[in-house]
């Protein structure tokens, strides 16, 4: 049975792009199993694409993640294939998009530069590598082609960095970034609950977000907060989140992705 292929892109669904990518895959591997993660990533938004990919893939059976959010298409940026510790393969541009997902799938065990032109559709159009490079390579990998056949192995340390850096715990605070704003206006942070040490439920947290400061309580779910109260919680994907019960926190604060955030717990971190 062919390896399942999980698709993510910023192509949207108004145009033909997603259907064409799927058609190329199915023309080469008719038994391919395709699952759409999202094609509504905002254009060129590597951060949102990386968040959705990293949030979704750990809950799916091991497979091939094909992700195309590619502002550098047609330039000298590399196309890469990663093998993760869980056994998944990740295929896409070398622009940091794949790395947060790889970290959640056991880390990058091996990486290859996708260069074998005999695998591509010819001629490969410089503005549509999703169709002409990534789709045919994905189809062949799903059919059982060995990863080494896509091109030379490369040092995983040479991959372009993820869209956000790791959080820092220092001076009694957690320093991190807003990595996503969901449709409810909740903020996902680059930090996980482990950064809070021995913090207890109900504890107050001073949040510094740009020029705005406010207090949030550390709670388990939205219903534990009072209407209109801010809370800090672990979201369903394992990141820390900031929310306003029955309100839009991002709108109230003017928050934006990749904004710096600092969390100061009452009494410091243990």
pLDDT digits (tens, 9 = 90+) for 179-195: 999 999 999 999 999 99
Domain that holds residue 120: 5-158
- The model's confidence at residue 267, banded by pLDDT at 50, 70 and 90, is low
- pLDDT of 270 strictly over 60: no
Looking at residue 65, the DSSP 8-state letter turns out to be: E
**Given this model, what pLDDT does residue 269 score?**
55
Gap between the Cα atoms of 171 and 156, Å rounded? 32
Taking CA atoms, 7 is separated from 92, 165, 169, 258, 269, in Å, by: 10, 25, 34, 24, 40
Q: What is the CA radius of gyration of the chain?
A: 20
Examine residue 236 and state whether it is found in any structural domain, yes or no. yes
Statement to judge: residues 73 and 141 lie in one domain: yes
- The model's confidence at residue 30, banded by pLDDT at 50, 70 and 90, is very high
pLDDT in tens, 148-173: 999 999 999 999 999 999 999 998 89
Statement to judge: residues 57 and 154 lie in one domain: yes
Q: What is the dihedral of CA 71, 75, 81, 86, to 10 degrees?
A: -30
CATH number at residue 230: 2.40.30.90
Number of domains in the chain: 2
pTM, entire model = 0.94
List CB contacts of 267: < 8 A, sequence separation 6 or more: none
Gap between the Cα atoms of 161 and 31, Å rounded? 35
| Side-chain-side CA neighbours of residue 252 (13 Å) | 18
Q: Please choose, from the candidates 39, 30, 34, the residue with its C-alpha nearest in 3D space to the C-alpha of residue 64.
A: 34
């Amino acid at each position: 049975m062919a390896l399942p292929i999980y698709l993510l892109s910023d192509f949207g669904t108004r145009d033909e792009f997603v259907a064409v990518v799927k058609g190329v895959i199915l023309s080469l591997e008719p038994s391919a199993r395709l699952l759409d993660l999202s094609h509504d990533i905002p254009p060129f938004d590597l951060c949102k694409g990386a968040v959705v990919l990293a949030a979704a893939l750990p809950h799916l059976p091991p497979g091939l993640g094909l992700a195309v959010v590619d502002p550098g298409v047609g330039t000298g940026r590399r196309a890469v294939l990663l093998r993760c510790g869980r056994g998944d393969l990740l295929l896409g541009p070398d622009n940091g998009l794949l790395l947060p997902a790889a970290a959640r799938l056991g880390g990058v065990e091996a990486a290859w530069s996708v260069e074998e032109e005999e695998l591509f559709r010819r001629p490969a159009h410089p503005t549509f590598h999703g169709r002409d490079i990534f789709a045919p390579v994905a189809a062949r990998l799903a059919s059982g082609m060995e990863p080494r056949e896509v091109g030379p192995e490369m040092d995983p340390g040479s991959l372009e960095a993820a869209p956000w850096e790791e959080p820092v715990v220092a001076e009694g605070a957690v320093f991190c970034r807003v990595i996503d704003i969901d449709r409810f206006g909740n903020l996902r942070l680059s930090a996980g609950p482990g950064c809070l040490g021995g913090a207890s439920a109900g504890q107050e947290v001073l949040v510094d977000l740009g020029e705005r400061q406010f207090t949030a309580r550390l709670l388990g779910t939205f219903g534990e907060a009072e209407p209109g109260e801010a809370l800090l919680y672990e979201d369903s994907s394992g990141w820390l989140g900031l929310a306003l019960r029955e309100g839009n926190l991002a709108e109230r604060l003017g928050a934006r992705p990749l904004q710096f955030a600092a969390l100061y717990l009452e009494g410091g971190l243990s």
